[in-house]
Amino acid sequence: MQPTGDVIATEGDTATLDCTFQTSDTTPTLFWYKQDGNNSPKFILNRVQLDEGKTPDELKERFSSTLNSTSRSVPLKIQKLQLSDSAVYYCALRPTVTANTKTLYKNLWSKDNRILHNIH
């Protein structure tokens, strides 16, 4: 869950984008993505409880986050703000699977909607 509305900040400053979550998963994984213009969302980082998670090397200097399981939050901190940081940011929780895994499947579709692979 992310608050609505814009975050206004000054170039060179630090901005924090809030994200809270609810899950029964004891080891949740949270992701942050950045989407600018009409481009696809770009992976920024992920965080797992008691783990640093992953952040692409080119983003490590300015983008950081910590997963707090007590407050169920994973705020994204952006330091040394640049004009190019203006974008829509998405926080995402890795889905939890509660069904019988034997009944789960995934279809990979071709461009003309034919099933290429049926993975069980």
Fold classified for 15-119: Immunoglobulin-like (2.60.40)
**Above 80 in pLDDT, residue 52?**
no
Q: What average pLDDT score do residues 68-73 get?
A: 91
Q: 2 or 114, which is more confident?
A: 2
Which pLDDT score is estimated for 118? 45
- Residue spans per domain, the chain: 15-119
**Above 90 in pLDDT, residue 111?**
no
Which pLDDT score is estimated for 108? 46
Q: Percent of the chain, pLDDT > 90?
A: 56
Please give the sequence-ordered ranges of beta strands (E in DSSP) within the chain, or none if there are none: 15-17, 29-35, 42-48, 51-54, 63-65, 76-78, 88-93, 106-109, 115-119
Which pLDDT score is estimated for 47? 92
For 23-35, write each residue's pLDDT tens digit.
988 889 999 999 9
pLDDT category at 97 given cuts 50, 70, 90 is low
- Assess contact for 59 and 108: CB atoms under 8 A: no
